[in-house]
Amino acid sequence: RKVPLSPLPLPKGSSELHLLNIPLLLCFCSQINTRIANEKYLRSHKEVELLLSGFLREVMLRRPENIPEFAAGKTIILILLDMKSKTC
């Protein structure tokens, strides 16, 4: 079950967080921490951006009918490895 991202309304006249908001806040904090961890990982592994951009470039150039099959094929892996060796 997905938790909505908008906060639950506070009871009228209440300036404190309602107890029903705590699970939502914990979920939101978890999502933020996941995004931060993902950002740190991607910044420390520049090859991910290189591989993704190379893959998208080849998809746009070759326009394969079956992209999952193209992605799983040895040809694209060899192309991407060749691209990486030229940039290093």
- Residue 75 in any domain: the answer is yes
State residue 3's pLDDT score. Answer: 52
Residue 41 has pLDDT above 70, yes or no: yes
- Residue 14 in any domain: the answer is no
- Residue 1 in any domain: the answer is no
- Residue 38 in any domain: the answer is yes
- Residue 40 in any domain: the answer is yes
Higher pLDDT, 72 or 42: 42
- Residue 7 in any domain: the answer is no
Domain of 33, in residue numbers: 21-87
- Residue 11 in any domain: the answer is no
pTM (2 decimals)? Answer: 0.50
Residue pLDDT, tens place only, 49-81: 888 888 899 899 999 999 888 888 766 677 767
Per DSSP, 36 falls in state: H
- Residue 3 in any domain: the answer is no
How many folded domains does the chain comprise? 1
State residue 78's pLDDT score. Answer: 73
Within 10 angstroms of residue 66's Cβ, the number of other Cβ atoms is: 9
Residue 27 has pLDDT above 90, yes or no: no
